[in-house]
Each structure stands twice: as structure tokens, then as C-alpha cells.
Amino acid sequence: MLYGCRLPCLLVLACALGGCRGKAPYEGKSAAQLERMLHDPNPSVQAQGAFGLSRIGPEAHSALPTLVESLQSPESLVRQNAALALGQIGPEAGDAVPALTAALRDREWAVRRQAALALGLIGPASRVAIPALTKLRQDPSKVVRRAAQDALDKIRQGEPEKKRL
């Protein structure tokens, strides 16, 4: 009986030592390759492409128009990961502010949250989103309300102090 367990046990041990898991679909890809993934007909591939772009941060700037377009995807995970990537690009993603502001009204709380966080990471260029973020502090979701407040704090921190007369 013990001998019958030997092969499965060896396979488990080999997987544990050698690693059974392959690379994630976004690993080792350039920004251009990840951007092409956003055009794939499979929403899972699109979501992976957007997530991969979030991992490379400002280097994903060339994908900005495609990421903005992805905020309109019918798939919430694609929209969420596109917002994540735009936030990780940082201040250079200022052109995405109108689309991210619109995403604050998304039906999915995770997308609203990620759009708010992205606006905060973009910083002062998101100033025009302050009214929408202020309204978002009344969202039913506590994590969305917290993200909106964090974004407002970051945007306001980056603004120059007003001179006192």
C-alpha cells in the first residue's frame, strides 16, 4: 500500500521543489505586447494585459489611449485593471482624468474604487475630478468612500498653497 503512494508523492514533491506554476500571462511582456492583449477578444486576456501594464507603471504611458478605451469594456475586471494601470502610470496619465472621472459612476464598486485611487495617484492634474470625488464620499461602499477621501487628500496635497492676504 505504501508503495502505491510513492509515485503521487514524488510528483507532489517535484512540483513543490521545481514549481508547477508557469509564468503569469503578463510576465516578461513589453508594454506594446501588453497593449495588444487589450485588443484580444477574450476578456480574461484583456484583464491580464491591463494588469501587466499596471505592473510596469510609467513605462506603460504609450498604452494610455488603449487603457482609456478599456474603461468602456463590458467586463468589470477589464475596467478595474485599466483604472489600476492608469493610476500606476501616475502624473503622466493626466489625459485620462475625464475618463476616470466618468468611471467614478461605474455600476461596480471595485471600478469606482480603482478609478478614485487612480485619480489620487495622478495628482493635481485630477483637480477637475474634485466635485465627483466629493460626491463619491457618499457611496454605499465604505472602501469606495475611503478611496475617494484618499484621492481628495492626494490631489489637494499636490496643489500649491493659496496665498493669504
Q: Does residue 7 lie within any of the structural domains?
A: no
- What is the pTM assigned to this prediction? 0.83
Chunked into runs of 10 residues, the chain (165 residues) has average pLDDT values of 42 44 86 97 97 97 98 98 98 98 98 98 97 98 98 86 39
We report the CATH number of the domain holding residue 87 as 1.25.10.10
The pLDDT of residue 22 is 81
Q: Does residue 15 lie within any of the structural domains?
A: no
Cell 474634485, residue? 130
Q: Does residue 80 lie within any of the structural domains?
A: yes
Q: Does residue 67 lie within any of the structural domains?
A: yes
Distances in Å between the Cα of 158 and the Cα atoms of 11, 84, 128, 130 are 55, 20, 13, 13
The pLDDT of residue 160 is 57
Q: Does residue 120 lie within any of the structural domains?
A: yes
Domain tally for the chain? 1
Instruction: Dig out the grid coordinates for 155 from the structure.
Output: 490631489
The pLDDT of residue 25 is 87
The pLDDT of residue 150 is 98
